[in-house]
Amino acid sequence: MLMLEALKDMRPDGLRCAHNLADWYANNQVRYRDYIHGAGTFPATVSFIGQPSPVSCNWLMAFGSMAMAAAGTAFSEDIYAYSAEKMINYLRTLQIFDPYNKTHYGAIREMTQLTPWCYVRDALSAAWAFIEYYRLSGKEEYLERAKLWADWFYRHGCDENGLPLWGVEFAPSMGGTPVMHNNLLGNFHGGSLNFFYQLYKATGDDKYIGGRFVDFAEFYLANVQQNNGFFVTIDKHTQQTVDDPQKSLHRTNDDFSSLGLLAAYRVTGERKYLDGIAKFINGCFDAQQDNGSFEPTVAGIPVLLNIMLEAEGVLGPWPDVWLNGARRALEFMFSRQHKGDVVPALRGGLDEYGDGNLSTRSSGYALIVLLKLFAGEERFLTAME
């Protein structure tokens, strides 16, 4: 049985969860006023007492814009589409076009217009959102922005061997810059492959899926994915696993590395990338708990369901045990949606770790994937041909 058919009875609960998530975004977004410097942003987290964190990072804005654009169509709600537009409007202000900083022309700052650094994978997600907004709006500006970022990435976002950097400083930081682990290849960089695949599809320029794309895909699959299916952080020079500075933040939430492998398969036709995807999915279900969860965070649930949807045509149909596991995972995710009975700012968001605090990370992924499952909104987080 195909995945959509197997889960179709969950559609009412899935759409209800999605609608609540979209409302959470809209209700917590900084209102658009031309005198508010953070207009269009939203908190990365909201504490259990309703205290919002400072402004989101660029990648949270990116996936939030995709999620709300999908919600605007699925629910025919102008406020959701407007919300997505304002997220993009803020995101575009983070791109560097400073005539006194030509070295980093086209780069994208991490959080605000004053942040003098970025994590490269985060900035890639922001550029990915520009591609998607170009497709939505038809405005060539956004495709050009994505191309300019890719040009910067090739010049300054990689090391001497063509492997992506962990982070880049644009200028000295008075407040102190986070440690840039540029001797390491993070277990999140595989998601980069899908950005370049999407840029190729949007431009028709095969330079984005040329030798550098294939070389990185081969290196990542051979060195970063482990026998248990999961991706790890490695030392670039020794290819040995290291203690992950992010404490296994990306496990079942592989930050779309498996989606990147699907993009690599689309480009090369090589079966080994499909085998890597199957190994990842199998690893996730081997780790599934009796309550339907895979780990304390729920962020990995929509990520796993997304690759199952995307890869089903070349690897499916999935065994019943996996489909039943997907059902139990969704039920667990639904149980983490906050009712907001006491603190209205929490209503509709996902309690990511079960500690009462909300995270935009899991909320954005969940909204995109729920609408793929139950509303036919298939435009985002895809590696279709």
Which has the closest alpha carbon to 247: 183, 186, 191, 178? 186
Residue 176: the pLDDT is 79
Q: For residue 335, tell me if it sits in a domain.
A: yes
Which has the closest alpha carbon to 82: 145, 9, 13, 137? 137
Read off the tokens for 310. Answer: 């995307």
Read off the tokens for 362. Answer: 């899991």
Read off the tokens for 299. Answer: 């962020």
Domain with 340, as residue range(s), is 3-374
Q: Determine contact, residues 96/83, Cβ cutoff 8 Å.
A: no
Q: For residue 275, tell me if it sits in a domain.
A: yes
Residue 247: the pLDDT is 81
Read off the tokens for 164. Answer: 């992506």
Which has the closest alpha carbon to 224: 260, 267, 271? 260
Low-confidence ranges of the chain (pLDDT < 50): none
Residue 33: the pLDDT is 78
Q: For residue 290, tell me if it sits in a domain.
A: yes
The residue type of 285 is: F
SS in 3 state form for the chain? CCHHHHCHHHHHHHHHHHHHHHHHHHHHCCCCCCCCCCCCCCECEECCCCCECCECCHHHHHHHHHHHHHHHHHCCCHHHHHHHHHHHHHHHHHECCCCCCHHHCCCECCCCCCCCEEEHHHHHHHHHHHHHHHHHHCCHHHHHHHHHHHHHHHHHCECCCCCECCEEECCCCCCCCCCCCCCEECCCHHHHHHHHHHHHHHHCCHHHHCHHHHHHHHHHHHHCECCCCCECCEECCCCCECCCCCCCCCCCCCCCHHHHHHHHHHHHCCHHHHHHHHHHHHHHHHCCCCCCCCCCCCCHHHHHHHHHHHHHHHHCCCCHHHHHHHHHHHHHHHHCECCCCCCHHHCCCEECCCCCCEEHHHHHHHHHHHHHHHCCCCCCCCCCC
pTM over 0.85: yes
Residue 221: the pLDDT is 98
Burial 24-58 (b: 16+ CB within 10 A, else e): bbbebbbeeeeeeebbbbbbbbbbeeeebeebbbb
Length of the chain measured in residues: 385
- The number of beta carbons lying within 10 Å of the beta carbon of residue 320 is 10
Which has the closest alpha carbon to 198: 62, 2, 44, 369? 62
Residue 61: the pLDDT is 96
Residue 331: the pLDDT is 98
Residue 136: the pLDDT is 96
CATH number of the domain bearing residue 131: 1.50.10.10
Q: For residue 381, tell me if it sits in a domain.
A: no
Tally of structural domains, the chain: 1
The span from the CA of 346 to the CA of 268, in Å, is 44
Residue 34: the pLDDT is 77
CA 51 to chain centre: 24
Q: Within 13 A of 254's CA, how many CA atoms are on the CB side? A: 32
Residue 361: the pLDDT is 87
Q: Determine contact, residues 364/59, Cβ cutoff 8 Å.
A: no
Q: For residue 384, tell me if it sits in a domain.
A: no
Q: For residue 382, tell me if it sits in a domain.
A: no
Q: For residue 140, tell me if it sits in a domain.
A: yes
